[in-house]
Structure 1
Amino acid sequence: MEYRNASREDVPKILFFIQEIARYEKMMDEVVATEAMLEENLFNQQRAEVIFAMEGDVEVGFALFFHNFSTFVGRAGMYLEDIYVLPEYRGQGYGKGLLQLVAQLAVERGCGRMEWTCLNWNQSSIDFYLSLGAEPMDEWTVYRLAGETLKQVAADSSGTKG
């Protein structure tokens, strides 16, 4: 199996894969990313990285990841935001290969851990992650501020002292 790092010219392919995973997760209405946003954040700001799984010269899967930081571990971690393989290429090892490659990068970069989230209904992915030895964090709940709510919280100065 072949893998390659995404380049600036791949922005349309990256957006395609983001849209595909959103369709799969029934969350297409939440995708607001544009090619311009991806180019700015992935390549100008270098806020995340993308690796493609290749079948010949065709991109059949992708992983998007970035560094986070663990105060408990005292060092950076790797956060796998998205991993997706096109349906016709599943079960052939591309997903495992992508996950292993990101894990290798995490180890090479001295990360203390690697984390990701998975929708509770996605049993095939849950089974896959468990087969690798991943541990579900059942005692943790993800919270999110987004859109207008994020802006409202940021603008609310009542909790800050001046």
Structure 2
Amino acid sequence: MESNQLFSIRKAVADDVPLILQFILDLAEYEQLRHEVVTDEDTLRTWIFERHGAEVLIAQEGDEPVGFALYFHNFSTFLGRCGIYLEDLFVRPEHRGKGYGLALLKRLAAIAVEEGCGRLEWWCLDWNKPSIDFYLSLPAQPMDEWTVYRVAGEDLTNLARSG
């Protein structure tokens, strides 16, 4: 755990599942994507803590959870090693501007270095100027030459059946 007297970062445990879900819902609301959230506590518990598909860091101010980072490992064939993909980073609006988002990113970078990973990466919505400005200050580099593609839901099922 990383901490000072008021702020700490810890790894989430299974008892944090309701909190993790609430952070996801809060983030979805901020991103105007609440209608896309279909997960529930059981699904999160299964995929994060039983199948170990992702990991979560919880940022706390004293005993109050103020933010989270959900991440997982991916693999770069060009680097020949894993990287960390940050799926979600969220700090509650009333706690922004205190350095908590930066602290979460620094902790993720430290985890990547400790584990010998080749990179830390994430996506950001094009309209989210405050986050983009923050990421550029790190300095993170936008990958403008790449386009993200996705197959999900019924399209994923249909693609799988078409083979």
TM-score bin, normalised by smaller chain: over 0.9
1:126 corresponding residue in structure 2: 132
2:3 corresponding residue in structure 1: none
1:51 corresponding residue in structure 2: 57
TM-fit CA distance, 1:24: 0.4
Structure 1 ranges of 4+ moved more than 6 A: none
Distance 2:57 2:44 in 1: 14
1:153 corresponding residue in structure 2: 159
Distance 1:7 1:62 in 2: 13
1:73 corresponding residue in structure 2: 79
TM-fit CA distance, 1:148: 0.3
Distance 1:104 1:154 in 2: 38
TM-fit CA distance, 1:69: 0.1
Query: Is 2:47 aligned against 1:20?
Result: no
Distance 1:16 1:153 in 2: 32
Distance 1:133 1:114 in 2: 12
**Local SS of the residue matching 1:120:** coil
Distance 2:54 2:14 in 1: 13
TM-fit CA distance, 1:116: 0.1
Gaps of 5+ in 1: 158-162
Distance 1:104 1:74 in 2: 19
Count of residues in Structure 1 that have an aligned counterpart in Structure 2 = 157
TM-fit CA distance, 1:70: 0.3
2:91 corresponding residue in structure 1: 85
Distance 2:150 2:18 in 1: 27
Gaps of 5+ in 2: 1-6
Distance 2:106 2:19 in 1: 22
1:4 corresponding residue in structure 2: 10
Distance 1:144 1:30 in 2: 14
2:146 to 122, 140, 148: 140
TM-fit CA distance, 1:89: 0.1
TM-fit CA distance, 1:16: 0.1
TM-fit CA distance, 1:154: 0.7
TM-score (norm 2): 0.95
TM-score (norm 1): 0.96
How well do the aligned residues superpose, as a CA RMSD in angstroms?
A: 0.5
Query: Residue deviations 1:75-115, cap 9 Å, x none?
Result: 00000000000000000000000011011101100000111
1:61 to 64, 67, 77: 67
Distance 1:139 1:87 in 2: 31
TM-fit CA distance, 1:144: 0.5
Query: Residue deviations 1:48-75, cap 9 Å, x none?
Result: 0000110111100000000000001110
